[in-house]
Structure 1
């Protein structure tokens, strides 16, 4: 009986970590597996809409970020932006890192990608801007023996609070384990305006934060005119655009879906 109680307690605990399911949920695929319909590329130093050197590709049901037409990486940080801004939703996808990384990419970009949430409007992104103003759910993969959690939070041009305390650092690691290059990882985010965001990795809740606010001073393009990206510094960020990242290391995405919430 003691073993049974322990097993039931463990099962209940694990169930609490899983993303809650509801009857009648209607998830909407936002990547069709065939092409980039509904998505717009923005690559640093290139105009909005130019898929420079075929960086983003749809092949065999997978959305790929690849660099086989590059000789070297020269600050071409890339995002692929979904067409519709959203405020309250759940996003789920699978990703995997694929090596090797590009010569010329920064050391921190090795096995590094992510999905941007509540991103600024595409037409406001400056030509030479490296990253959008957004909340980044950061994806990392680790080498053997390396401790490198995934599903982290980073804050380009915004601030967030964790446990009621403003996060001072640019990135905060989640509680996830480390995943190797080449392994598919399931990620899900719950986004409820500026109030709360949660990250799950393979069904386990690994990060929760709240109070998302605009803080674009780190971007020279917007330091003097924060209204260009949605309001004055300190304004709540209630909605925005989803985008998938390319930072110089090949990465693949599949099964990208959204469930809108009330």
Structure 2
């Protein structure tokens, strides 16, 4: 081996080692954040109820409650549901995050619940504050990750982790999407089984719905607009305004539901680092696959 060839190999090796060291150092700086337990398993002191026809903070008939370590939505005090749509808001807004909820539908729908609301609930994303909702407002202006349960009929299909848009619009398949709901590609989850839904939310850019490690729906540019919300303060509905952050709600739409986990990975500090954001997101989603 001549000296020139030797020096070439040495230089290449040194460059490779340097790159590997830099990559290792970069990987070590990308720390996956610990999950924030929005539901602590004990109480809902960090949450605010807003139920239609009632004032902010009034948890009518104890609709939202904690029993047996579960956050439950129940209607045993209702004589009739009467379109008293309820929402429970976590008391801090978020912009870039992964929200993970574990839920199951149980029991029977309360009297007066509408047909479409059977085994129907949701996780509301980028919502307005509960304090800005009026007494008779039905839904918060928000992006809804709709949760649906099947009817146990093997041939009956009913996807979950769908999208609904009370007072909002999104870009879906690169076009402004104005219909109220769009179905995901998920399978049907029948009966009272526990289901884990992840919502990957990157500010006003991208939102992904993930089940069992698979993306079942993806859309972009969440923004205020459209209808499907009533009784709101008009100053809160600025059509065309992109939604960069907001409040997270759990929904009460007339069918009992349990939540045993509501946790959030706050990714705000990585929003300007696309590579780190992708790495952390993939790591968190794979963590669920290994459980």
In the alignment, what sits opposite 2:82? 74
Equivalent-residue separation in structure 1 for 2:208 and 2:163 (angstroms): 10
- 1:222 CA displacement: 4.6
For 1:5-24, what aligned pairs fall within 5 Å after superposition? 24=32
Partner of 1:185: 195
Structure 1 residues 181 and 33: CA distance shift in structure 2, 3 A:
same
> Taking structure 1 as the reference length, what is the TM-score of the superposition?
0.87
Aligned to 1:172: 182
Q: Which aligned pairs between 1:1-262 and structure 2 lie closer than 5 A?
A: 24-143=32-151, 144=153, 145-215=155-225, 218-222=228-232, 225=234, 227-229=235-237, 232-261=238-267, 262=270
Distance 2:39 2:228 in 1: 32
- Structure 2 CA distance for aligned equivalents of residues 219 and 95 of structure 1: 25
Deviation per CA, 1:143-201: give whole Å up to 9, x if none.
11321000000000010011201223210000000001301000100111111100111
The separation in 1 between residues aligned to 2:44 and 2:66, in whole angstroms, is: 7
Could you tell me which runs of 5 or more consecutive residues in structure 2 were left unpaired when the two chains were aligned: 1-29, 271-291
Moved more, 64-73 or 241-250: 64-73
Secondary structure of 1:244's match? strand
CA distance in 2, matches of 1:187, 1:117: 13
Is 1:99–1:181's contact at 8 Å kept on the other side of the alignment? no
Normalised TM-score (structure 2): 0.78
The alpha carbon displacement at 1:238 in A equals: 0.8
Residues 1:72 and 1:220: Cα distance change in structure 2 (over 3 Å): closer
Structure 1 gaps, min length 5? 1-21
Whether the 8 Å CA contact 2:48–2:91 is kept in 1: the answer is yes
Q: Which of the two has higher C-alpha Rg? A: 2
Tell me if structure 2 keeps the 8 A contact 1:44–1:77.
yes
After superposition, give the CA deviation of every residue in 1:116-159 in whole Å (9 maximum; x if it has no partner): 00001111101011111000000001111321000000000010
Q: C-alpha offsets along residues 221-252 of structure 1, whole Å, 9 cap, x if unaligned?
A: 458x3x335xx310111110000001000001
* C-alpha separation in 1, matches of 2:79 and 2:212: 35
From the two aligned structures, give the one with the greater helix fraction. 2
The number of residue pairs the alignment matches comes to 237
Q: What is the rounded CA distance, in whole Å, between the counterparts of 2:249 and 2:106 in structure 1?
A: 19
The question of whether the paired residues in 2 share the 8 Å contact of 1:72 and 1:103 is answered with yes
Greater than 2 Å deviation, 4+ residue runs: 22-25, 216-223
Secondary structure of the corresponding residue to residue 53 of structure 1: helix
